Structure 1
């Protein structure tokens, strides 16, 4: 499986404060990779530094084999890197349909956009039933579905999801995870950042555990879930 997104020896943070220390990451085409760890471990900062939302002090970033270190967020979207932030992920004063249209703002060709919106509604029938509803009136799970669907309207090759399961009901979590699997099966690679370690690893092929800004374990998700130390300290299961 060829890597589509690679980060090498990244130091990142905000202002003059370094939060992430010497972390490397690799995402293969069509796979789901989980970045997990406790709150404040640098998970979101790592991903934001790859896209230009956080400061990259040291390291290199490659996308489809090309060096994109220091890229700006708008350029990243144009290249095919989708991003769904943890908060403020939808336009609450727009309808569901208008939010999806905003997701395709970088694209040309009304016919292809219309066709892709039809595919999105097939993948997210819950959104089609609410396409004329204000996004601000959606439930938490529906908003998260809309945020992911809107990012997919840009036809990304890799989708970065920051805490997509946060504050959702168990039923909504299951729905979001099932949508993620459909997206992966369609060929889009996914990076999921989560505090819910077990859910994230269960739904991914490989995982990275960050603690205090450093990667303390990486490998196949099944291996991490079976490792006694990981289960006891990070996954919340009995070893």
Structure 2
């Protein structure tokens, strides 16, 4: 796996999205849910207001994902549209996925809800004319943001918005969140997580050894004279 964006680069990218006028302002939260909550683009496209089950004024929130709308092309969908609503990837029909909402993402989402009208059906992110968000729409904004926010060397890796999801998962692992928990939040199997993000997990080995050594260190004498 290539290098992923770090927190400073991610913020610069979001700022560069915001700087693209009204269209960009509407998409800041779209890209933010990929970076802070590890959503796949097709999950962000489907995200509805009712799925933000806890969005406090401060602190961590919670979302519950139920569906995704991957782009298959009109020839391959039941509806004849480029996207069809489907169960979450690696989940059986009806299964959901709970994902924590980082405090910074809470702030971004609350601003989005205050600033932009949510259409009937509760879809958070829509295209310029109010329809479903298309690849063409968000990729155009993404490319301009990369050009403005990143150097040529930095831009060599995060070519697609999906890189923001990779950055989220890598950040969680590097912060010491147990792989099983990360896999649950990201909608991976643990086996896939261990394979794709092996480098991030391996970097925790020394810290894990220190924790084990501390946990097994003999306790100092208590002064008990019995």
TM-score by length of 2: 0.31
Larger radius of gyration: 2
Higher strand share: 1
Higher helix share: 2
